[in-house]
């Protein structure tokens, strides 16, 4: 892989500055402000003593984890209308919140959440590319913080998490594989991918799309390797803030 200097002076293998600021929403069981460069998302987790109706109807034991995702009106350069003003939820938001929920459930033993639903809300304050990957990485931290608090309060008996999870974007920009795309790169990338992996290095999801372009198996492997290295670094930051 050739060394490529990007518009913001990063190399192609370099993440943006990533931070996790805990305790941003005091009324939540766990919360964090996650920043991937200029992309900033508040992630908050709240436990509810209730499970979805379909679980009760099918007599499914254990609990559930679900997520909601939204971009605040002022998160983009042009005001983004709230879903409630349109009378229906934006399709992109639905897709992303389902991805967040799947990603967190992938590393949880739901039997250890008996009768509970863990709600994770991800609200984008500022969008500069990678809002879904920032949301997933922050959602894990918020959920893990919530579990620690609930165990200390005696509401949960065991930690349901069996691994950590994080996500990052990769893509091909001007012919070069790059890690953690900002909006400038994302809008013109010929290939755009979002990768979700566990802390132990297993894949949860790999979404890769050619934007009016195609990509080879070799390029796909390069992107996967690049994402794995990026997620390893993000996982270390998660461990640090949770320690």
CATH code at position 111: 3.30.230.70
Instruction: Tell me the backbone φ, ψ of residue 185, rounded to 5 degrees.
Output: -80, -40
Return the pLDDT at 211: 83
| Residue 2 covered by a domain | no
| Residue 7 covered by a domain | no
* Total domains present in the chain: 1
| Residue 3 covered by a domain | no
| Residue 6 covered by a domain | no
* pLDDT band, residue 155 (cuts 50/70/90): confident
Contact by Cβ (8 Å): 104, 238 = no
Contact by Cβ (8 Å): 211, 189 = yes
| Residue 5 covered by a domain | no
Nearest Cα residue to 25 out of 112, 127, 146, 114: 146
Give how far Cα 35 sits from Cα of 8, 56, 80, 101, 131, Å: 16, 38, 20, 20, 9
Q: Which two tokens stand for residue 165?
A: 């999870």
Whole-prediction pTM: 0.93
Residues 6+ apart with CB under 8 A from 174: 4, 188
Q: What dihedral angle (degrees, nearest 10) is formed by the CA atoms of 13, 16, 22, 26?
A: -130
Contact by Cβ (8 Å): 167, 197 = yes
Q: What is the pLDDT of residues 195-240, one digit of tens each?
A: 999 999 999 999 989 987 899 999 999 999 999 999 999 999 999 9
* pLDDT band, residue 85 (cuts 50/70/90): low
| Residue 4 covered by a domain | no
In the three-class reduction of DSSP (H, G, I as helix; E, B as strand; rest coil), residue 237 is classed as helix
In the three-class reduction of DSSP (H, G, I as helix; E, B as strand; rest coil), residue 158 is classed as coil
| Residue 69 covered by a domain | yes
Question: Domain of 56?
Answer: 18-242
Separation between Cα atoms, residue 2 and residue 9, nearest integer Å: 15
* pLDDT band, residue 86 (cuts 50/70/90): low
Question: To the nearest whole number, what is the mean pLDDT of the chain?
Answer: 91
Element (H, E) at 104: helix 91-105
Contact by Cβ (8 Å): 94, 122 = no
* pLDDT band, residue 156 (cuts 50/70/90): confident
56 C-beta neighbours (distance < 10 Å), count = 11
The helix, strand and coil proportions of the chain, stated in percent and rounded to the nearest 5, come to 35, 30, 35
Residues 6+ apart with CB under 8 A from 228: 195, 197, 201
Return the pLDDT at 96: 92
| Residue 206 covered by a domain | yes
Share of the chain above pLDDT 90, in %: 75
Element (H, E) at 44: strand 39-48
């Amino acid at each position: 892989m050739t060394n490529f200097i990007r518009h913001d002076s990063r190399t192609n293998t370099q993440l943006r500055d990533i931070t996790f600021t805990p305790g941003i929403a005091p009324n939540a069981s766990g919360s964090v402000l996650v920043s991937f460069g200029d992309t900033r998302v508040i992630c908050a987790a709240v436990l509810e003593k209730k499970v979805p109706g379909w679980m009760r109807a099918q007599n499914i034991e254990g609990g559930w984890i679900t997520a909601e995702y939204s971009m605040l009106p002022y998160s983009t350069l042009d005001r983004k209308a709230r879903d409630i003003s349109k009378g229906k939820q934006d399709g992109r938001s639905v897709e992303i919140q389902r991805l967040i929920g799947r990603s967190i459930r992938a590393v949880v033993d739901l039997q250890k959440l008996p009768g509970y639903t863990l709600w994770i809300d991800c609200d984008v304050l500022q969008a500069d590319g990678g809002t879904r990957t920032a949301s997933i990485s922050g959602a894990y931290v918020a959920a893990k913080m919530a579990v620690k608090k609930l165990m200390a309060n005696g509401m949960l008996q065991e930690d349901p998490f069996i691994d950590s999870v994080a996500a990052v974007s990769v893509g091909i920009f001007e012919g070069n594989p790059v890690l953690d795309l900002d909006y400038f790169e994302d809008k013109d990338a010929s290939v755009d991918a979002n990768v979700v992996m566990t802390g132990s290095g297993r894949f949860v999801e790999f979404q890769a799309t050619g934007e009016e372009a195609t990509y080879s198996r070799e390029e796909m492997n390069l992107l996967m390797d690049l994402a794995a290295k990026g997620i390893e670094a993000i996982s270390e930051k998660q461990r640090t803030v949770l320690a």
